[in-house]
Amino acid sequence: MTIFSKIAAGEIPSYKCAENEQFYAFLDIDPVTKGHTLVIPRKEIDYIFDMDDEELAAFEIFAKKVARAIKTVFPCKKVAQVVLGLEVNHAHIHLLPMNSEADVDFKHHVQVEAEEQKEIAAKIFKAFQELD
């Protein structure tokens, strides 16, 4: 079981931003920007392009809704979507509020205290719910 599966199952605490029966979104614990969110399938799939077409389409639609919620909380030009996939062997998408390309530089990270992470996650979660 991957660390992301344990997070989605609630075995490891996380800052939950959104969820449904297939997918889970939570704040990155080492964020590049405030609001840096990871979106994962609950089903363990190592490589995003190993998903079948229906799963991948549903994954992207879920990520789109999470991105819209992030943009509500963090007014920004765009929400970047980044797929790397080497850090954890579990398909995932990074969503990052951005105003310039510098905002998605994975060599630089921001410090966000636990209490602020909680507040950010709660705001994104609320915005996500209001999009229904």
Tell me which residues are annotated as active site: 92
The 8-class DSSP code of residue 106 comes to: T
Count the Cβ atoms, other than its own, within 10 Å of residue 125: 20
Give Cβ neighbours of residue 63 (< 8 Å, ≥ 6 apart): 23, 25, 39, 81, 93, 95
Entry field: residues in the chain: 132
Cα 84-90-96 angle, rounded to 5 deg: 45
Helix (H, G, I), strand (E, B) or coil at 118: helix
